[in-house]
Structure 1
Amino acid sequence: MALLTAFARLSCKEVPSVARSFFTGPKLCVQVTPALYAEPLKKKKKIDPAVIKQREERRRKKLEKQIRRLEKNARQLKPVDELEVPLELLDEKEKRTRPKAALSQEEIESRAILQKEWARYKLKQKSQELQVVDRLMQAQQKALEELRKESEELFQEAIQPDLQMIPLTTKGPVATPPIENYESPDGEYLDISKKWT
């Protein structure tokens, strides 16, 4: 408070004794500045012009190398992942998409009939295959029974598995399309197949 009253005597205005700040008018020429917490500015190092020239030369050579590499690989096509669709095409997507063709009632009926005929054909084919397999199994069983009547040793040798045919691998077209969202019963795998939209 003693300091406050001393300053109050110097100032032109009266300062109440309760006040916590003091008046600093232009007549007193007292200037209060905030404390500088920052570090002093560092002096800029003077760089040799030769070093600057070397840096520019390196930058220029790097750019030339990149240009040469791009010219060399100009004939190579970009991967589909890296291709960017123009925004104009994305905006015009609704205009460019064709509406689904409206099918007539006759076309819908003909497609349904065709699908039913195909299902009947596949059922008939499957039943014929099963009949052939049944006939073969019956013939095999009958032959084994006849062989057992002739000789027990030959029968025992006949029913032994053929080790040359055990690792059997077959390749061919499948009769039905793959099942959607089918979960494989054995093992886990990470699907990394690319999805094109």
Structure 2
Amino acid sequence: MFYIGSLIRSLPLSSAGPFALRSIHTGSGNYFHYTPVLCAEPLKKKKKIDPQVLKQREERKKKRLEKQIRRLEKNARQLKPVEDLDIPIELIDEREQRKRTGIRVTPEVLESRVLLEKQWAKHKRLEKLADYQLIDKVLAAQTKALNELRFESEELYQKAIEPDMGIVPLKVEGPVATPPIDGYDMPDGEYIDVSKKWE
């Protein structure tokens, strides 16, 4: 025991750490030889499973997969519902309360409504014809005036048919590319997918 203690004290300071004893090793037979401790346990024996049990498990898996495939095929023809077009459950529950009963329209009221719709259609048709006739008159007067002007002077005619840029002043100035936004924290590509999954 005295020899081991004096040997550890005689080691340099750098090797006197927690693994200092593991480095004590010489080729002479008079000194001891230390090897690291291997913390291991024996391998567990594989349990032998009955082949019939394995076969039943595989059959169960197969049946489960076939059931999922059948369910997917059944739902394949159904369209995904649009949530905005769904009727709220509250309205479905209140259908009987909101249902109007006892409103009967007499034949005289129905006939007056039909006559009113016909009169409105006739009025709108005459209004549209009047607009067309007015446009035709204006275009005919413009064409006649231009023809008279051309007969008098070709130079004045060419000046008259030029587009007047002063009527609609258009001045466009702006950047050719979008400028950067100050203090904009650019996303790093990660996002949370909150869309619903449909089977």
| TM-score tier (shorter) | 0.3 to 0.5
TM-score scaled by structure 2?
0.37
* More RCO (CA 8 Å, sep 6+): 2
TM-score scaled by structure 1?
0.37
